[in-house]
Structure 1
């Protein structure tokens, strides 16, 4: 059997393939990080199924990664093998039972969110306050913030094209007014609203870093503060009010309601209260 050896040129070709496949920048970054880590782990050794299994075990035992993180790495590696036509190297994912509840230490509640917004405005950081309100009020991904334009605020809607899917997001009237007021103050007459001082679009890392800087003043645990948690908060509150998971899946841009269901997991504390209300311990 022919031996497979992974090279830097193959990784570069895989990166180009991901771009052509219209994967999101975040997905591309995550996949390439996993592939490069695997490349370093191999240290010139051939790629075999046994080597991939050992890599998976290495991530669990030495790296201490969670099963979901290990599976995310395996998804990247398996995608690479498909691209290289090395089906004999593909391996199975770890079997993970669906969790019934989310870690309370990473659960961003409405009170946490409101304190973050207040802290941002009291510190004169209107831009990050408005970014957080925009994500939380619409449920968009942080990578979709670039679709929030002056024209979108004027029309009260924006069309998002991502992952091969196109969906229209409605913007609340109060949010539109704030966006237009901010754009006027910043002398932005058209195009994207959330820009850096150099006129470039704000990136995921910058948004995350600015949110983190608010934690101490807002008295919110840093482990709870990251952009995607704002999207989770939108999903949780929307479902509590309307109980329509199918429509929520459409709003979030999910192809499967199973994905949306993950967003609606309660915290362990809330799950415990639900069990207590059953009153089955006599």
Structure 2
């Protein structure tokens, strides 16, 4: 039945990673709990709540509910866990630390990683989108990508970054192909990028919790709104389906809130 479920998902408009996640979750439930009934489903939900973050819990429950739809057992669907929305952003690299990291990478000759950090912070690219950037896209100044809904999202490469990246490409004597590759000419993996960024964080005495790929996407959004307060445009640039997702960037980070409180509260 799980194999049929996987085939069913493969025909839907879901990303490969999502399909894999759904199949893994259903397999995990069936192996450990057996029969699909309300008692077992609630027990599994309890296990998830005790062992995972709430966002992960809801992703797992979404997979289970999709499977229940598939086997025509919608009446057994589980309710999602309410995630209380924080009124601040957590673990976002500061603009000062971002600039410091960039300057250190450049000074120490880590040109590839200098551009990786710059590309993520200047384009708002997800790490999976960063992997798709080619020399040809840098020369054109943008990269067009299809979203899950079949829409085209354009990832713009700003002029300053484009000019410097073209010089770097010329120095490497590369004329085409993926921009960020390892010494074997293969694209860098998402895991490899994340691990190397942590390495640089430790090397340069930065907080490793704020030096990870998505942190630079957050930085892009924060910097963009500070310089051009158009949240609808930012939502388009980031590929958000709902503008509500983008509203989080109107909030201060936890450290920014602390600094403001420390500065103004003297009573």
Is the CA contact (8 Å cut-off) linking 2:222 and 2:249 kept in structure 1? yes
What is the Cα deviation at residue 259 of structure 1? 0.9
Q: Which moved more, 1:160-169 or 1:263-272?
A: 263-272
Give the TM-score normalised by structure 1: 0.82
Q: Which moved more, 1:45-54 or 1:230-239?
A: 45-54
Match status 1:247 vs 2:233: yes
Is the CA contact (8 Å cut-off) linking 1:60 and 1:70 kept in structure 2? yes
Match status 1:85 vs 2:72: yes
What is the Cα deviation at residue 15 of structure 1? 4.1
Where does the alignment leave 5 or more consecutive residues of structure 1 unmatched?
1-6
Per the alignment, residue 120 of structure 2 pairs with 135
1:57 and 1:169 map into 2 onto residues whose CA distance is 41
What is the Cα deviation at residue 247 of structure 1? 0.7
1:192 and 1:234 map into 2 onto residues whose CA distance is 22
Question: Deviations for 1:149-176, whole angstroms, at most 9, x for unmatched residues?
Answer: 2221111122111313212222112211
2:23 and 2:103 map into 1 onto residues whose CA distance is 37
Per the alignment, residue 219 of structure 1 pairs with 205
Give the TM-score normalised by structure 2: 0.86
Q: SS where residue 131 of structure 2 aligns?
A: helix
Q: Which moved more, 1:129-138 or 1:79-88?
A: 79-88
Per the alignment, residue 268 of structure 1 pairs with 254
Match status 1:153 vs 2:142: no
1:15 and 1:195 map into 2 onto residues whose CA distance is 32
Q: What is the root-mean-square deviation of aligned Cα atoms in Å?
A: 2.7
Paired positions, count: 266
Per the alignment, residue 53 of structure 1 pairs with 42
Change (3 A) 1:33 1:107: farther
Q: Which moved more, 1:25-34 or 1:233-242?
A: 25-34
Per the alignment, residue 106 of structure 2 pairs with 121
Where does the alignment leave 5 or more consecutive residues of structure 2 unmatched?
none
Is the CA contact (8 Å cut-off) linking 1:101 and 1:265 kept in structure 2? yes
What is the Cα deviation at residue 49 of structure 1? 2.5
Q: SS where residue 247 of structure 1 aligns?
A: helix
- Which one of the candidate residues 166, 177, 183 is aligned to 2:169? 183
